[in-house]
Structure 1
Amino acid sequence: MWCILAGSLAALPFQRRLALLLGTIALGWACLEGVVDLRGVVALGIILLIARVKMHATGRSRVLTAGGEILLVIAALALLVHQIPGFYNPRILDDVQAGTHSAPFTLYFNFDKALMPFVLLAALPTLLFTRSDYHPKCWQWLLLILSMPVLLMVAMLLGALKIELHFPSWLGSFMLANLFFVSFAEEVLFRGYLQQRLAGWLGNLPALFIAALIFGLAHIGGGLLLVVFASMAGLIYGLAWMWSGRLWVSTLCHFALNMCHLLVFTYPIYWQG
């Protein structure tokens, strides 16, 4: 089921009909497995109805189009923070440690969060691909890529992380969840939707910094230092999105930084317990 759901998200930027088919299969399977119950199905049906009304209103009624987009964004945020009833996200890892000096953490497979890209795509058709007026040189891309391990090394110098190589037995589950249900879902919201909408209102550079700051503030539960580093990471992902106009590029940057963090450094933080 989870591989099918991941496959639907992988297909979404390129083959939307295939993505919808795989997503429907995954949803049906989730219902059979008890991951989604009738309340969740009804909620998704209402969201689908809103999406269809918005689609038919586009170009005819600005009020219905704008109202439909607002409702879809609210629904996407509700999915993100698990406020729509009827979803029972399974706990895959419970209080595990990547290494001796890594803090314990828990990992869930979030079915509701994984549906957010479909909802936001209905809200904004250019969510995954948009025109870019930037033509960065190869050396600029290289600097952007190198900035990710540099950011982690700065965190290490400040005492938040330590070098600790890992290759845990649950690496496959972590990679699946982190690529599709974390990195892609978060990039859809913060870069594909928020940064793109802000760029249309304020321009590219203000949108880049504001979206990065909001992304950082979304990590406030981890403390002020995490907010700072998440904001800086948001700038990296935002530049990747702004330069390429393709969400899969910023998603791969997001995933690459997370994997570098897990495999090379204490994850999620340095812990002396």
Structure 2
Amino acid sequence: MVAAPFIALFLAVPAVWSPAARWLVPGLLIVGYAAAMSNGQLTPLAALSLGLLLAAAFAVAPQRQAWMRFAGHTVFIVLAVALSMHWMPGFNNLRVIGPERFTADAVPFTMFLNLDKPLVGFWLLLACPWIRPRHAPAASLKASVAGVAGTTIVCLLLALALGLVRWEPKLPASTWLFMLNNVLLVTVTEEALFRGYLQGGLSRLLKRFAHADVIALCVAALAFGLAHFPGGWQWIVLATVAGIGYGLAYRYGGLGAAILAHFGLNAAHFLLFTYPMLQAPGVS
């Protein structure tokens, strides 16, 4: 019963990508969050976030007046930051891994199945369909393969050079859960926000200017890097470089290509290198 909310969320992610199954998504979200409330994983205070997201979705509809759309996007941006940082009340996210050391020299890792952060991704996919530009299947496939290969090689070589990781292949018992959560909830939400909404939105706003796509890509990559500031300057650098790779995948292959590039790097990092990073010398 504790897993019921997340089963509904995991099913809702592929459904939202299918025009034929898209109508299922609101129902799956209602079922999932109702189950979470019955389990005590949500409290009535979570209604504040849900209500504000619904109001923002109403406000940003294309037929609304400009001032209302601006207000709706402002409310969403504030909520996106707060939900991503787990600042909003009412969410009792379930810890499913850790603290656990996957290798003896690694920092202990903890993973939660979050109910707050995924709301950002679902809101974007449902309220802002323009974050998913259309690309020919061949172009999307090419961008996906190039994004996964290029971003993974560059970022992991850089991580090795910075002394953040070592070559340490492994297959922990929790691998399946990490991968499922990472691809369906983490990378979908982060790419919808940073690439679809921020990069795509800036490209739309700046389209009258030269190099609008390059500016949008760089701003989104830098914002993604700064979002990793708790890890220190090395992680800001790594995440910014990764954001450039994801941004190129988005630019030439769409949101799906960016998600695959992001997940490919995360999977390679988890399976083949120290995860999440090496423990600093002298720290037990």
TM-score by length of 1: 0.90
Q: What is the alpha-carbon distance in structure 2 between the residues aligned to residue 22 and residue 115 of structure 1?
A: 13
Mapped pair 1:253 → 2:261 = yes
Between Structure 1 and Structure 2, how many residues are aligned?
A: 268
Q: CA deviation at 1:118?
A: 2.3
Mapped pair 1:265 → 2:273 = yes
Q: Superposition pairs for residues 116-135 of structure 1, below 5 Å?
A: 116-121=120-125, 123-127=127-131, 129-131=132-134
| Counterpart selection for 2:75 from 67, 71, 76 | 71
Q: What is the alpha-carbon distance in structure 1 between the residues aligned to residue 58 and residue 40 of structure 2?
A: 27
Matched with 1:243 is: 252
Contact 2:52–2:75 (CA under 8 A) maintained in structure 1: no
Q: What is the alpha-carbon distance in structure 1 between the residues aligned to residue 81 and residue 262 of structure 2?
A: 20
Q: What is the alpha-carbon distance in structure 1 between the residues aligned to residue 145 and residue 256 of structure 2?
A: 17
Contact 2:148–2:264 (CA under 8 A) maintained in structure 1: no
Residue 159 to residue 86, structure 1, CA distance change in 2 (3 Å): same
Residue 212 to residue 54, structure 1, CA distance change in 2 (3 Å): closer
Identity fraction in percent: 34
- State the AA in 1 paired with 2:133: T
Q: Superposition pairs for residues 69-218 of structure 1, below 5 Å?
A: 69-121=73-125, 123-127=127-131, 129-131=132-134, 142-147=145-150, 148-202=152-206, 203-218=212-227
- State the AA in 2 paired with 1:244: G
Residue 126 to residue 222, structure 1, CA distance change in 2 (3 Å): same
Matched with 2:10 is: 6
Residue 141 to residue 88, structure 1, CA distance change in 2 (3 Å): closer
Q: What is the alpha-carbon distance in structure 2 between the residues aligned to residue 180 and residue 85 of structure 1?
A: 23
Contact 1:101–1:270 (CA under 8 A) maintained in structure 2: yes
Q: What is the alpha-carbon distance in structure 2 between the residues aligned to residue 28 and residue 138 of structure 1?
A: 37
Give the unaligned 5+ runs of structure 1.
none
Matched with 1:19 is: 25
Q: What is the alpha-carbon distance in structure 2 between the residues aligned to residue 211 and residue 195 of structure 1?
A: 5
Residues 122-143 of structure 1 deviation map (CA, whole Å, 9 limit, x = unaligned): 552312x11459x969877654
Tell me the secondary structure at the aligned position of residue 99 of structure 1. coil
Residue 72 to residue 168, structure 1, CA distance change in 2 (3 Å): same
Residues 182-231 of structure 1 deviation map (CA, whole Å, 9 limit, x = unaligned): 11111111001000111123311111111101101110110111111111
Q: What is the alpha-carbon distance in structure 2 between the residues aligned to residue 152 and residue 248 of structure 1?
A: 22
Q: CA deviation at 1:32?
A: 0.9
Give the unaligned 5+ runs of structure 2.
207-211
Q: CA deviation at 1:74?
A: 2.1
CA RMSD, aligned part only?
Answer: 2.2
Q: What is the alpha-carbon distance in structure 2 between the residues aligned to residue 180 and residue 11 of structure 1?
A: 11
Q: CA deviation at 1:121?
A: 3.6
Matched with 2:209 is: none
Q: What is the alpha-carbon distance in structure 2 between the residues aligned to residue 76 and residue 248 of structure 1?
A: 21
Residue 75 to residue 95, structure 1, CA distance change in 2 (3 Å): same
- State the AA in 2 paired with 1:149: I
| Counterpart selection for 2:240 from 228, 231, 235 | 231
- State the AA in 2 paired with 1:228: V
- State the AA in 1 paired with 2:226: L
Residue 140 to residue 116, structure 1, CA distance change in 2 (3 Å): closer
Q: What is the alpha-carbon distance in structure 1 between the residues aligned to residue 134 and residue 92 of structure 2?
A: 38
Residue 141 to residue 212, structure 1, CA distance change in 2 (3 Å): same
- State the AA in 2 paired with 1:256: G
Tell me the secondary structure at the aligned position of residue 224 of structure 2. helix
Contact 2:147–2:246 (CA under 8 A) maintained in structure 1: no
Q: What is the alpha-carbon distance in structure 1 between the residues aligned to residue 144 and residue 51 of structure 2?
A: 42
Q: CA deviation at 1:20?
A: 1.6
Residue 157 to residue 26, structure 1, CA distance change in 2 (3 Å): same
TM-score by length of 2: 0.86
* Between 256-265 and 157-166, the greater mean CA deviation after superposition: 157-166
